[in-house]
Structure 1
Amino acid sequence: MNWAFILKYLPLYERAAWLTVRIGFAGVILAVIIGLICAVIQYEKVPFLKQVVAVYIELSRNTPLLVQLFFIYYGLPKIGIQTDAEICGMAGLAFLGGSYMAEAFRSGLESVADIQTESALSLGMSRMQVMRYVVFPQALSVSVPAFMANVIFLLKETSVFSAISLMDLMFTAKDLIGLYYKTTECLFLLVVFYLMILLPISILGSLLERRLRYAGFGA
């Protein structure tokens, strides 16, 4: 292990990690918003929109992120829609992640027994109040494991961003391996930085799940 090489190129990995985190978390936030909207549409069985959401979920989940990125990055400019690599990465991650988040949130919403919503409505609560005070708190606990797994999955999927020339962690590792043939050192730094990004999220997810169960939402 060449530690001098590792120390020399550590700042390059730090910049790549920051780019990966910035684009990754922006894509995850957009995916959560899309997922919530789609899950509510499915749960409420909104006419026409429910079918549109179903088509989107099947299309998104059954095509690779790399294909989606190529379509956005190379295909959209052909019809006059210009974009840069970072926006393309965020959009691709949001498009893919939205479908997975939608399924995670939908499973949580559907886990709440109908008798609870019916009882709340019979007590005079509005539909919005039922969703806010009865359905969402219980659905949250059920959705947390799948939600955190999706966050980790999406952040790992950022490794394909190198295909659209984004200087992320994978691009940096492949570039340095091609230049200096220091495979062990480059892959070591790659693993270390991905662990630094993903391990805290995994731990946070476990703690959050335990806290919600302890608070009684998972009962």
Structure 2
Amino acid sequence: MDFSIIAEYLPRYFDATLLTLRIAFFGTVYALILGLVCSLVQYLRVPVARQIVNAYVELSRNTPLLVQLFFIYFGLPKLGIVWSSENCAIIGLTFLGGSYMAEAFRSGFESVEKIQMESARSLGMKTSTAIRYVLLPQALAVALPGITANIVFLIKETSVVSIIALPDLMFVTKDIIGTDYNTWIALGMLVVFYLIILLPISLIAGKVERRMRHV
């Protein structure tokens, strides 16, 4: 293996990793917020909004991220809505991830006995306070494995954003293969950099999950 070639490619992979992390971070954070809101709408059975959320979840989960990115990046400009490639990628990940996070939160909420929320409200707690101190802590312990799996899933899905001209890890790898024909080196570096991103997340999430289950 020619280490001089690896050293030559490292700066490009570092830049691509930072871009991938930035997209994954914002996409995941917004997906968590969207998923939590959607799951609360479903749990509280909010009229009209519940039907909208159900339609969104079905649409998001049953269309590929690639199609969603094409619609956001190529379709919306026809309507006068133009975003940068990076913003399109974040919006696409948020749209896809929100539905998966909603399902993870929903499973957590359903694991909490409804009598606990009813008891909290009967003691004079506001619904928002009962959700914060009674529902969420217990639901998160159950939902965390699903949330962790979704985070890893969304990071992996960033490999699709290269289709809208973003120089992420996959884009750089394909570019090196196409121009320099160093296929094995490029693919090996791609695997290594994804492992550097994903392994710490999986290990940290596993520790957090075990602690929450013993609380």
Same fold (TM over 0.5): yes
**Where does residue 142 of structure 2 map in the other structure?**
142
Instruction: Please say if 1:195 is aligned against 2:202.
Output: no
**Where does residue 84 of structure 1 map in the other structure?**
84
Structure 1: how far apart are the matches of 2:12 and 2:134? 48
Structure 2: how far apart are the matches of 1:131 and 1:23? 30
Task: Report the number of matched residues.
Answer: 215
Structure 2: how far apart are the matches of 1:74 and 1:126? 45
Per the alignment, in what secondary structure is the counterpart of residue 60 of structure 1?
A: helix
Structure 1 segments of 4+ aligned residues over 6 angstroms from their partners: none
1:100 to partner: Cα distance: 0.3
**Where does residue 44 of structure 2 map in the other structure?**
44
Structure 2: how far apart are the matches of 1:93 and 1:125? 36
Amino-acid identity (%): 58
Per the alignment, in what secondary structure is the counterpart of residue 167 of structure 2?
A: coil
**Where does residue 206 of structure 1 map in the other structure?**
206
Structure 1: how far apart are the matches of 2:50 and 2:204? 33
Q: TM-score normalized by structure 2?
A: 0.98
5 Å-filtered alignment, 1:90-109, equals 90-109=90-109
**Where does residue 186 of structure 2 map in the other structure?**
186
Structure 2: how far apart are the matches of 1:17 and 1:27? 15
Q: TM-score normalized by structure 1?
A: 0.96
The amino acid across from 2:52 in the alignment is: V
Gaps in structure 2 of 5+ consecutive residues: none
1:116 to partner: Cα distance: 1.4
**Where does residue 64 of structure 1 map in the other structure?**
64
1:173 to partner: Cα distance: 0.3
**Where does residue 121 of structure 1 map in the other structure?**
121
Per the alignment, in what secondary structure is the counterpart of residue 46 of structure 1?
A: coil
Deviation string for 1:116-173 (max 9, x for gaps)? 1222222222222211111111001001000010000001000011101100000000
Gaps in structure 1 of 5+ consecutive residues: none
Q: How much is the aligned-residue C-alpha RMSD, in angstroms?
A: 0.8
